[in-house]
Structure 1
Amino acid sequence: MEIRIASDEDWPSIYPFYSAIMAEGKTYAFPEQQSLDEAKPWWMENPPGQTVVAVMDGKIVGSAKMGPNKPGRGAHIGTASFLVDPAYQGRGVGRALGEYVINWSRGQGFRGIQFNAVVEVNAPAVHLWKSLGFEVIGTVPGTFDHPEHGLVGQHVMFHRL
């Protein structure tokens, strides 16, 4: 698997699984039913952040976006978001992207990485982030309207670098 910086030309290959994941409604509180052009600024980061893609056998199978969690006095802490094409889940794509983000964040001089909203019933993601050194700092109750579980909490997770 190769992880590389995403280009504008990659967006049409990311969009189908971005759109499918948003339509599923289980992991992100992003707008649903966005067009290709409407969705692009929600995922493709500008400097100082960056968006990357995971490529297997010439096909884009995942993506991550990363950058400062907050501007100004909060800019020493990074954040990131992740997408894995549902057809490629369980093949190490998320782990590879997570490891990339941790290494990139260290290289950028961030002091930690904060995930602001990990849906608490997203067990695969919670397990993955814990295995990569993230801790659940707290859970904000009832802040995500899950299509199967109703109102559930979102974890704030942190990895000290």
Structure 2
Amino acid sequence: MKELQIRPATSADFDAMWTIFQAHVAGGETYPFEHDTSPEGAQAYWLGAGVTTRVAALGERVLGMYRVVPNQIGRGAHVANASYMVSPAARGGGVGRLLGEHSLGEARRQGYLAMQFNYVVSTNTAAVMLWKKLGFSIVGTLPKAFRHKRLGYVDAYVMYQLLQDPDHWPTRDE
């Protein structure tokens, strides 16, 4: 995908991002957002203060997006958290992998020492396989934590990856 560019998201991208967001939420298979999530709520999630958001675009056409934020505040802020959505029309074309790889680099660039996904739906096998290929491990299972639109209650995974060797992490408050 040579023409695909991953760049910072802008408010001008939000209409396309909203369309992708709505497709995922309507599917009810991958994200906990309810179908009546407002555009304002989605915009705050993706483009709010303190959120690093990137889009994958072919020219002006947005094919997917990711966001990186601290997983916790204060003493847990060295661990990043990220979310991803790919347009249904672009699934299977490598966009998710490129977003995943880019987000790991971005998290390292920002100084995060690890990345944690708090809620990967177990039945989202494409995502689980991708994250494993990119170095994540399942470190916990949340039994029946997600209310899947078709399958009912299914497990969700907590996935984790160190981004730097812990032997080289800072050892004192700075």
TM class by shorter chain equals over 0.9
Deviations 1:55-91 (A, max 9, x none): 0243100000111101101000001000000010000
Q: Distance in 1 between matches of 2:64 and 2:151?
A: 26
Q: 1:93 aligns with which of 86, 89, 95?
A: 95
Highest CA radius of gyration, 1 or 2? 2
Partner of 1:39: 42
134 and 45 in structure 1: CA distance in 2 versus 1, 3 angstrom threshold: farther
Q: How many residues align?
A: 160
- 1:19, 1:33 within 8 Å by CA — same for their partners in 2? no
Aligned: 1:11 with 2:21: no
- 1:135, 1:159 within 8 Å by CA — same for their partners in 2? yes
Give 1:32 shift. 1.6
Give 1:5 shift. 0.4
* TM-score, normalisation: structure 1: 0.95
- 1:144, 1:151 within 8 Å by CA — same for their partners in 2? yes
Aligned: 1:115 with 2:117: yes
Give 1:150 shift. 1.2
RMSD: 1.1
Give 1:13 shift. 1.3
Deviations 1:98-145 (A, max 9, x none): 001100111111110000000001000000000000000011101001
Q: 2:61 aligns with which of 44, 49, 59?
A: 59
Give 1:39 shift. 2.2
> Which stretches of structure 1, 4 residues or longer, exceed 4 Å deviation after superposition?
none
Name which of structure 1's ranges 118-127 and 25-34 shifts more when overlaid on structure 2: 25-34
Give 1:2 shift. 0.3
Partner of 1:29: 32
* TM-score, normalisation: structure 2: 0.88
